[in-house]
Amino acid sequence: MRRVLVLGSTGSIGRQTLDVLRRLPQQLQLVGLAAYSDYCALQAQATEWGVEVLGLVCPPKGATGISYVGVEGLCAMVQREDVDVVVVALGGAVALEPTLAALEAGKTVALATKEVLVAAGALVMEVAQRTGAPLLPIDSEHSGAFQAMQAGKREQVARLTLTASGGPFRTRPLDTFDTITVEEALEHPNWKMGKKITVDSATMMNKGLEVIEAQWLFGLRLEQVEVLIHPQSIVHALVEFVDGSVIAQLSLPDMRLPILYALMYPERVATEFPRLRLEQIGQLTFEAPDPQRYPCLSLAYEAARIGGTMPTVLNAANEVAVRAFLEHQIRFTDIPRLVEQAMAAHAPVPPTLENVLQADAWARAWLAARLAQRSV
Ligand SMILES: NC(=O)c1ccc[n+]([C@@H]2O[C@H](COP(=O)([O-])OP(=O)(O)OC[C@H]3O[C@@H](n4cnc5c(N)ncnc54)[C@H](OP(=O)(O)O)[C@@H]3O)[C@@H](O)[C@H]2O)c1
């Protein structure tokens, strides 16, 4: 029996994780739930599951029954003795310190929150390697890559290709991008996800963050990680080995599959999830991303090339810009503009924990000041 704690249980990945747990009561036991601030949703889950180990990053006034409060609280929560696996599915870099705490305590971490590895990949991988704590990807492309990589040795991997759907604006005329509405950006063609990642998919910052995540997870050089647009979202990743052979992972777009794989690794268990029938899909197509259409992808590569705390700033600036777009404060096309400006204003330093936290806070404050001035 694996005892599972879910950080971000009220979100899209959190709820799908609970769905997987519900299907495997003999193998997986839920021991705790944590979210950001939605006390009501967390309480409802706690009642449904009969769970009393609860955490919130920002509890509302008057909240009762929450034993773990704030980032510090979550850091203590993940280190509980009755926890084997921590699912990290909070929506952003706030999950960094709880992830580090879980790895320090030797817990298995099933990671959905890609922002963690973008903000502080070197730190996270150092702790995982030092403690031997397994760090398993939930992101579908990284789960696909992880599965495909088992066909050879890590040092025999020549290239990794991550696929991207291209989002809702793959064919929209570029001269209309200034008028993109929040509603249009939230219409993802293939996946039903939280709002932030859905906007990231539309700008393709999501794929940029995933490139950085993949670099860290699999120990690859930036030039070894490529992106291809694949509008059907059936092939999630392709791993090319040194002999030229390419192993791909395919499945219907359903996040429960990578969640299940991470929770049960290295076992595979039978499921009743809908099956892929290629004859019904008919065609799988691939194309190179157009940098003009997706400037955020180039910004992510640039941040990764520069290194140090630059990816931290890329991520934090993007988190703030996407929130501002969702709140109708800025246009869709302001997102890459603001991220680029934040990166230009940052002098990167080595990514120690202190420097990462400082760079993250600096970027958020810098962007907030820009937004307040309305000078974007
Ligand atoms: N959804 C997918 O299919 C998918 C696929 C791959 C990777 N991911 C990654 O998984 C993570 C979660 O995605 P999601 O789609 O599940 O998001 P979501 O539906 O928006 O859920 C986000 C979760 O994080 C919490 N949250 C709210 N505001 C936050 C903040 N400012 N900072 C940190 N956490 C906050 C929410 O708690 P409250 O309810 O208390 O607000 C909720 O539990 C993201 O990093 C995303 O990139 C998602």
The confidence score (pLDDT) of residue 188 equals: 82
The confidence score (pLDDT) of residue 49 equals: 97
Evaluate: CB of 36 within 6 angstroms of ligand 1: yes
Going from N- to C-terminal start, the domains of the chain cover: 2-137, 140-253+275-292, 307-376
C-alpha 11 – ligand 1 centre gap (Å)? 5
Q: Which atom of ligand 1 is nearest to the CA of 139?
A: 6
C-alpha 54 – ligand 1 centre gap (Å)? 17
C-alpha 208 – ligand 1 centre gap (Å)? 18
The number of C-alpha atoms within 13 Å of 129 and in the hemisphere containing its C-beta is 10
Segment holding 42, helix H or strand E: helix 39-49
The confidence score (pLDDT) of residue 376 equals: 47
| All residues at 6 or more sequence positions from 314 whose CB lies less than 8 Å from its CB, including other chains | 118, 208, 299, 300, 303, 339, 342, 343
Tokens for 24, please give them: 């495997």
Evaluate: CB of 194 within 6 angstroms of ligand 1: yes
Q: Which atom of ligand 1 is nearest to the CA of 196?
A: 20
Which pLDDT tens digit goes with each residue over 198-222?
Answer: 999 999 999 999 999 999 999 999 9
Q: How many CB atoms lie within 10 A of CB 344?
A: 8
Whole-structure pTM value: 0.96
Handedness of CA 248, 251, 253, 258 (dihedral sign): negative
Q: Tell which one of 12, 58, 97, 186 to mutate to probe ligand 1, the residue whose CB is within 8 A of the most ligand atoms.
A: 12
Which pLDDT tens digit goes with each residue over 61-75?
Answer: 999 999 999 999 999
Cβ atoms 4, 27 nearer than 8 A: no
The confidence score (pLDDT) of residue 375 equals: 54
Evaluate: CB of 273 within 6 angstroms of ligand 1: no
With 60 as the cut, is the pLDDT of residue 156 above it? yes
Which pLDDT tens digit goes with each residue over 279-305?
Answer: 999 999 999 999 999 999 999 999 999
C-alpha 8 – ligand 1 centre gap (Å)? 6
Report the distance separating Cα 198 and Cα 143, nearest Å. Answer: 19
With 60 as the cut, is the pLDDT of residue 361 above it? yes
C-alpha 13 – ligand 1 centre gap (Å)? 7
Reported residue count of the chain is: 376
Which pLDDT tens digit goes with each residue over 91-121?
Answer: 998 999 999 999 999 999 999 999 999 999 9
Evaluate: CB of 319 within 6 angstroms of ligand 1: no
State the DSSP code for 288.
P
C-alpha 73 – ligand 1 centre gap (Å)? 18
**Protein residue with least CA distance to atom 35, ligand 1:** 91
Which pLDDT tens digit goes with each residue over 313-352?
Answer: 999 999 999 999 999 999 999 999 999 999 999 999 999 9
Cβ atoms 296, 290 nearer than 8 A: no
What's domain 2-137's architecture?
3-Layer(aba) Sandwich (3.40)
Q: Above pLDDT 70, what percent of the chain?
A: 99
- Three-class DSSP labels, 308-336: CCHHHHHHHHHHHHHHHHHCCCCCCCHHH
Evaluate: CB of 10 within 6 angstroms of ligand 1: yes
Report the distance separating Cα 71 and Cα 104, nearest Å. Answer: 15
Cβ atoms 55, 33 nearer than 8 A: yes
Report the distance separating Cα 35 and Cα 20, nearest Å. Answer: 18
Choose which CATH entry (3.90.950.10, 3.40.720.10, 1.10.1740.10, 1.10.3720.10) describes domain 307-376: 1.10.1740.10
Q: Exposed/middle/buried for 61, CB within 10 Å: 0-12, 13-18, 19+? A: exposed
C-alpha 197 – ligand 1 centre gap (Å)? 8
Find, among 212, 233, 210, 235, the residue nearest to 142 by Cα. Answer: 210
Which pLDDT tens digit goes with each residue over 16-55?
Answer: 999 999 999 999 999 999 999 999 999 999 999 999 999 9
Evaluate: CB of 209 within 6 angstroms of ligand 1: no
Tokens for 90, please give them: 């909070």
C-alpha 112 – ligand 1 centre gap (Å)? 9
> What per-residue string of b and e applies to 242-265 under the rule 16 or more CB within 10 Å gives b?
eeeeebbbbbebbbebbbbbbbbb
Q: Above pLDDT 90, what percent of the chain?
A: 97
Segment holding 284, helix H or strand E: none
Evaluate: CB of 193 within 6 angstroms of ligand 1: yes
Q: Tell which one of 5, 7, 10, 38 to mutate to probe ligand 1, the residue whose CB is within 8 A of the most ligand atoms.
A: 10
Report the distance separating Cα 280 and Cα 48, nearest Å. Answer: 38
With 70 as the cut, is the pLDDT of residue 126 above it? yes
Evaluate: CB of 11 within 6 angstroms of ligand 1: yes
Q: In the predicted model, what is the mean pLDDT of the chain? A: 96
